[in-house]
């Protein structure tokens, strides 16, 4: 497992949902403690939640996260 993202709880959950939407398994570290006492899990309480993915999903994950951070929405929709 490789850390691909660190951030606040809400931002990390957004990224986690994007990754899982592309069928990438994500492990979140400090998910619950970051809400209770973020300064306990990270110095100063900054970026307490860490997301990890398998090394085989690393490149795709980086692209998805980079697009997210740049405000690019790659959500595919079906026309019905």
pLDDT of residue 38: 59
Alpha-carbon distance of 39 to 76, in angstroms, equals 37
Distance in angstroms (rounded) separating the CA atoms of residues 74 and 28: 22
pLDDT in tens, 55-76: 999 999 999 999 999 988 655 5
- Burial zone of 11 (CB within 10 Å; 0-12 exposed, 13-18 middle, 19+ buried): middle
pLDDT digit string, tens, across residues 11-38:
999 999 999 999 999 999 887 666 666 5
Question: Hey, what domains does the chain have and what are their CATH numbers?
Answer: 2-69 (3.30.70)
- The predicted model scores a pTM of 0.77
């Amino acid at each position: 497992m490789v850390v691909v993202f660190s951030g606040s709880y809400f931002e990390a959950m957004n990224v986690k949902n994007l990754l899982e939407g592309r069928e990438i398994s994500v492990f979140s570290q400090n998910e619950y403690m970051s809400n209770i006492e973020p300064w306990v899990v990270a110095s100063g309480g900054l970026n307490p939640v860490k997301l990890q993915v398998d090394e085989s999903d690393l490149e795709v994950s980086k692209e998805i996260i980079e697009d997210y951070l740049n405000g690019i929405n790659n959500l595919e929709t079906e026309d019905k």
